[in-house]
Amino acid sequence: MSESSTQNLQDQWLLILDFGSQYTQLIARRVRESGVYCEIQPFDVSEDYFSERVPNGVILSGGPETVTEGNTPRIPDEIFELGVPVLGICYGMQALASQLGGEVESSDRREFGHAKIKMENESELMSTLDLASDAEAQVWMSHGDKVVRLPEGFSVTVSTDSAPIAAMEDASKNIFAVQFHPEVTHTPNGEKLIGRFAKDICGCDGEWTIENIAEDAIERIREQVGEDEVVLGLSGGVDSSVVAAILSRAIGDQLTCLFVDNGLLRKDETEEVERAFGVKSGTGNVLPITIKTVNTQKEFLEKLEGIEDPEHKRKIIGNTFIEVFEREADKLSNVKWLAQGTIYPDVIESAASKYGKAHVIKSHHNVGGLPERMSLKLVEPLRELFKDEVRNLGIHLGLPRSLIYRHPFPGPGLGVRILGEVKSEYAAVLREADAIFIEELRKADLYDSVSQAFAVYLPVKSVGVVGDARRYEHVIALRAVETVDFMTARSARLPYDFIDTVSNRIMNEISKVSRVVYDISSKPPSTIEWE
């Protein structure tokens, strides 16, 4: 792809202004699924942001605040000056109404959950929806405040039993708003509605496809790297494997992959990665790449000695990775770049914290930012992609489905699945328990029905009974979740008999475990990881 066509892939795009909704990333995923590129920025985005690029349209997200109170987020004036279509969702609709001369009130009659919308007037936004169909009329509501008076020039387009103004628009000004959430899967017509806004109303062509993304990424890498060599930390997970694939396509033998055995990997992880890429067998090599395995178990474990704080552990592990990369890269002749599998949710989290609008849930890429002294420059081919886009790209590049849909395993590995201090003997026990859990999931044909499953080592002991003897050993927790986006999740509804089988195997085969528990917490309020 030429430089001009590279630019064109993101030349048509939508801006999503984030007012703090937990669903904001889901809006972005819906837009991307319609074939349109988009970016998320905080609601108080700098004026400078629009100096070089003007979006084709703007979507205003939901949020936890209320416009009826003072000092709550407002839509920047610059948005109305851009002259592009605007779509407000939930809080975005209320903010539009309030700022354009309408009125919003808090209500005792809240509306959370499923609702059915009915057409009140003609709608440019909803002209492709068949609201006579019960399925298409179903939406997901999550609000307490309501628009009670329209701004001048607006009309009510749909209503519900408890929200007379469930959507509004002024088509002459290209401003549209819905009280419901079209971005969630609970709104069956949501994908169609957002696609209508992105392509028909905003005029985007829908060029954001996996084929174009791959071509674009290859061209960008070649332009960025030139003749330099690149080093990549290959974990065997989805992100690093896809980065390896795209770099291999782009620059061939200029790429060297380092596989770091930090002592915190799953059982037989090194062998699995080497086998997946044909390192040992010499056959079935998916990618023509050089892989160098580095054993650094002692180094990592020594640095983690005595450390219990989870964020501190993440940063130690992440920064030690960087140190290892630097050290190993120095042994290569022309390495100037470090490749990372940073994906868009990582970028959003990091950017948001800079503005003080978000709590840091996880340090950027598990590292806490890259040290300024680092001698290598960064190349991040997946930086603009969501996880589902990364998987689709991997399939497009020819990676095996078993690798692409493997349960994600965090960069810090077992380090964040051992609560408290990390010790080699704890890791050894956890590694075996984890392997039993995964093995039984595959045997029971349950592996693909859960999004992520793993064992956790708890720093508490419990009495167990072995024959006529008693033993006082540690507790293992089993965690399995069902999720689409990894932002929200619920505990997997695994059969009791299955959990019983796994529990008995762990306690019978691992002498250092006296009890097994099953984690039933959902995200939120819990997290998927334990630390």
Nearest Cα residue to 512 out of 436, 429, 437 = 429
Torsion angle of the four alpha carbons 34, 37, 42, 47, in this order, in degrees rounded to the nearest 10: -130
What's the pLDDT band for 431 if we cut at 50, 70, 90? very high
Prediction pTM value: 0.76
Of all residues in the chain, the percent with pLDDT exceeding 90 is 50
Q: Give the CA distances from residue 341 to residues 32, 40, 240, 314, in Å, rounded to whole numbers and listed in that order.
A: 19, 19, 5, 17
276 pLDDT band, cuts 50/70/90, is low
| For range 117-127, the mean pLDDT | 90
Q: Which fold has domain 210-404?
A: Rossmann fold (3.40.50)
Least confident window among 210-224, 331-345, 441-455: 331-345
Query: In what helix (H) or strand (E) does residue 232 lie, and over which residues does it extend?
Result: strand 229-233
| 408-424 pLDDT, tens digit each | 887 788 999 999 999 99
pLDDT at 199 over 90: yes
Per-residue pLDDT of 350-382, as tens digits, reads 444 344 443 333 333 444 445 555 577 889 999
Domain boundaries, the chain: 3-201, 210-404, 422-518
From residue 271, alpha-carbon distances to 1, 268, 274, 276, 462 in Å are 37, 5, 5, 8, 34
Indicate which residues carry an active-site annotation.
Answer: 90, 181, 183
Give whichever of 234-248, 307-321, 432-446 has the largest mean pLDDT: 432-446
Pairing of strands 57-60, 86-89: parallel
- Contact call for residues 85 and 161 (beta carbons, < 8 A): no
pLDDT attached to residue 291: 84
- Top-level class of domain 422-518: alpha beta
DSSP 307-327: ---HHHHHHHHHHHHHHHHHH
Distance CA 125, CA 202 (A): 11
- CATH class given for the domain over 3-201: alpha beta
Do 3-201 and 210-404 fold alike per CATH?
yes
